[in-house]
Amino acid sequence: MGVKVQDSKIYLPKLGWMGFFNSRLIPDGFTIKAATIRKRQDGWYVSIRIEDKSIPDYLSKPLNEVDSILGCDLGITKLVHLSDRHQIDNPKFSTNKKSLRTLKIRQRRVSRKIKGSKNRKKAARKLGRFHKKITDKRVAYQWDIANKIVSRKVDAIALEDLNIRTMLKRCRVKTDESTGRFLKNGQSRKKGLNRAISDASWGELILKIEYLAAKLGKVVIKINPRHSSQECRKCGHIDKSNRDGEKFICTECGHHEHADIGAAKTIRDRAFKIVRGDSPELAAVSS
């Protein structure tokens, strides 16, 4: 006997019937395929996978029919920069001043309690609920942003093909050859950057954009972002010194613009080259 739902009760194999809060009704015609149970800080959650074979699969537009593309450059100061010059704010849910202070206080309260005591478990649950609150806010905000990006009147969306796991790696250890002592390798400075990248959660945002784009039949093209913010859009000159923070001034021809918006436009143009077959580079295309 599989999973069954009746009003505010659910039947789970090996567990039987139990009460639950049915937050979303199952539409007519859908059948339950599987259920996943998860324990979070404030209780148990069940996710139900449903299927209706009468609904056709989403079909994306072929690449040769793509006429308009929106380029997206992900960042820290602003969460997303778009090629149409629109910028989306980054609320920094877990790294803003108020959240950092609250986390510091609650983590200190946990550490000061006796290990194994009820008071320590109570403080740990309170800390866990705050982490969950931050996660829920971030997820809700990302769905809102993904909707705004995908709902634009374009045929395709160009995203950076980021290797986030590599970006979060620790710096290599440096040692003095003569004394063997450890030298500064920039890890303490990179720690703050890693925390900001994790808070931005680019990977989750990209997944949400891909999911919503597929529902609307739009194509997602992943582009190699190498030198996208250092390449001059006027003369093509690539130089690290072209960029100074958010300012871009080409050292070759003097062209200037916003560095991140220029990067979004470069990503859009690289996607157009792939669509037209002018680029020798391979790109990942989601449909």
Q: State the Cα–Cα distance between residues 129 and 49, nearest whole angstrom.
A: 26
Q: Is the pLDDT of residue 77 over 50?
A: yes
Query: Could you tell me the two tokens for 85?
Result: 């010059």
Q: Is the pLDDT of residue 85 over 50?
A: yes
Residue 170 Cα to chain centre, angstroms: 20
What is the residue-averaged pLDDT of the chain? 89
Q: Which long-range contacts (CB under 8 A, 24 or more apart) does 38-44 make?
A: 40/132, 41/125, 41/128, 41/129, 41/131, 41/132, 42/129, 42/132
Q: pLDDT confidence of 1, banded at 50, 70, 90?
A: low
pLDDT in tens, 18-36: 999 988 888 888 999 989 9
In the block, tokens 């009003």 appear at 7
Tokens matching residue 105: 């206080």
Q: Are 221 and 271 in contact (CB under 8 A)?
A: yes
Measuring CA to CA, which residue among 85, 30, 82 is closest to residue 54?
Answer: 30
Residue 65's pLDDT band (cuts 50, 70, 90) = confident
Say whether pLDDT at 190 is over 90.
no
Active site residues: 73, 160, 260
The DSSP bridge partners found for residue 247 are 244, 258
List the structure tokens of 155.
Answer: 């045929």
pLDDT value, residue 154: 93
pLDDT band at 195 (very low <50, low <70, confident <90, very high): very high
Q: How far is CA 164 from CA 168, 235, 257, in A?
A: 6, 30, 27
The pLDDT, as a whole number, for residue 280 is: 53
Residue 282 reports pLDDT greater than 50: no
Tell me: pLDDT of 285 over 70: no
pLDDT band at residue 125 using 50, 70 and 90 as cut-offs? very high
Distance CA 223, CA 226 (A): 9
pTM of the model: 0.85
pLDDT exceeds cutoff 80 at 134: yes
pLDDT at 283 over 60: no
| Angle CA 4–10–11, to nearest 5 | 60
Take residue 254 and report the two structure tokens written for it: 């003097």
